[in-house]
Amino acid sequence: MKRIDANALKQLLSANGEIAFLDIREHGQYGEGHPFFCVNLPYSVIETRAPVLVPRKATTCVLMDDGDRVADLAAARLEAIGYTDVQVLDGGAPAWVAAGYTLFKGVNVPSKTFGELVEHAFDTPSISAEELKAWQEDGTEMVVLDGRSPAEFHKMALPGAQSCPNAELGYRLPTLVADAQTPIVVNCAGRTRSIIGAQSLRNLGLPNPVYALRNGTQGWRLAGFELRYGAEPGQLAALDAKGEAMASERAAELIVATGQSVVSPETVAEWLRDDSRTTYLFDVRTREEYEAAHWAGARHAAGGQLVQATDEYLATRRARIVLSDDLGLRAMTTAIWLRGMGHEVHLLNADARKGREQGQPVAAEPNLCPRVPPSALAGATLLDASRGLDYRAGHVDGARWVTRARLTEADAQGRIVVLGRSAALIAGVMQRLKELGAEDVVAAPGGPADWAEAGLTVVETPDTPVQEDCIDYLFFVHDRHDGNLEAARQYLSWEMGLLEQLDAQERAVLQPLPLNAAE
Residue 184 lies in a domain: yes
Residue 491 lies in a domain: no
Q: What is the pLDDT of residues 373-421, one digit of tens each?
A: 988 899 999 999 999 999 999 999 999 999 999 999 999 999 999 999 9
Task: Decide: 34 and 315 in contact? Cβ < 8 Å.
Answer: no
Round to whole Å and give the CA distance between 23 and 35: 9
pLDDT at 486: 85
Q: What is the domain-level CATH number for residue 152?
A: 3.40.250.10
Same domain, 94 and 13: yes
Q: What is the pLDDT of residues 180-237, one digit of tens each?
A: 899 999 999 999 999 999 999 999 999 999 999 999 999 999 999 999 999 999 999 9
Q: Which residues, 6+ apart, have CB-to-CB distance to 440 below 8 Å?
A: 414, 415, 416
Same domain, 393 and 339: no
Same domain, 219 and 123: yes
Same domain, 269 and 345: yes
Residue 484 lies in a domain: no
Domain limits for position 170: 113-234
Same domain, 319 and 392: no
Same domain, 343 and 278: yes
Same domain, 48 and 148: no
Q: Above 80 in pLDDT, residue 165? A: yes
Q: Above 50 in pLDDT, residue 55? A: yes
Residue 415: enclosing H or E segment and its boundaries? Answer: strand 415-420
Q: 3-class secondary structure for 302-352? A: CHHHHHHCHHHCCCCECCEEEEEECCCHHHHHHHHHHHHCCCEEEEEEEEH
Q: Above 70 in pLDDT, residue 508? A: yes
Q: What is the pLDDT of residues 82-124, one digit of tens each?
A: 999 999 999 999 999 999 999 999 999 999 999 999 999 999 9
Q: Above 90 in pLDDT, residue 488? A: no
Same domain, 83 and 124: no
> What is the number of domains present in the chain?
4
Residue 367 lies in a domain: no
Round to whole Å and give the CA distance between 454 and 233: 37
Q: Of the candidates 107, 136, 154, which is a domain's last residue?
A: 107
CB half-sphere exposure, 245, CA atoms < 13 A: 3
Same domain, 82 and 51: yes
| Mean pLDDT, range 63-81, rounded to an integer | 98
Q: Of the candidates 200, 234, 268, which is a domain's last residue?
A: 234
Q: Are strands 458-459 and 395-396 parallel, antiparallel or unpaired?
A: antiparallel
Same domain, 395 and 423: yes
The alpha carbon of 336 is separated from its chain's Cα centroid by a whole number of angstroms, namely 19
Of 186, 177, 173, nearest to 132 by C-alpha is 186
Q: Of the candidates 107, 124, 155, which is a domain's last residue?
A: 107
Integer CA distances (angstroms), 73 to 68, 252, 307, 330, 432, in order: 10, 49, 32, 41, 9
Residue 223 lies in a domain: yes
Helix runs in 365-514, H state only: 388-393, 423-435, 448-453, 475-478, 485-496, 504-509
Q: What is the pLDDT of residues 266-283, one digit of tens each?
A: 999 999 999 999 999 999
Residue 199 lies in a domain: yes
Residue 320 lies in a domain: yes
Helix runs in 55-204, H state only: 70-80, 92-98, 109-122, 129-138, 150-155, 169-176, 192-203
Q: Above 50 in pLDDT, residue 516? A: no
Backbone angles phi, psi at 143, to 5 degrees: -125, 125
pLDDT at 517: 39
Confidence label for 479 from pLDDT (cuts 50, 70 and 90):
low
Same domain, 262 and 345: yes
| Mean pLDDT, range 467-495, rounded to an integer | 81
Same domain, 59 and 117: no
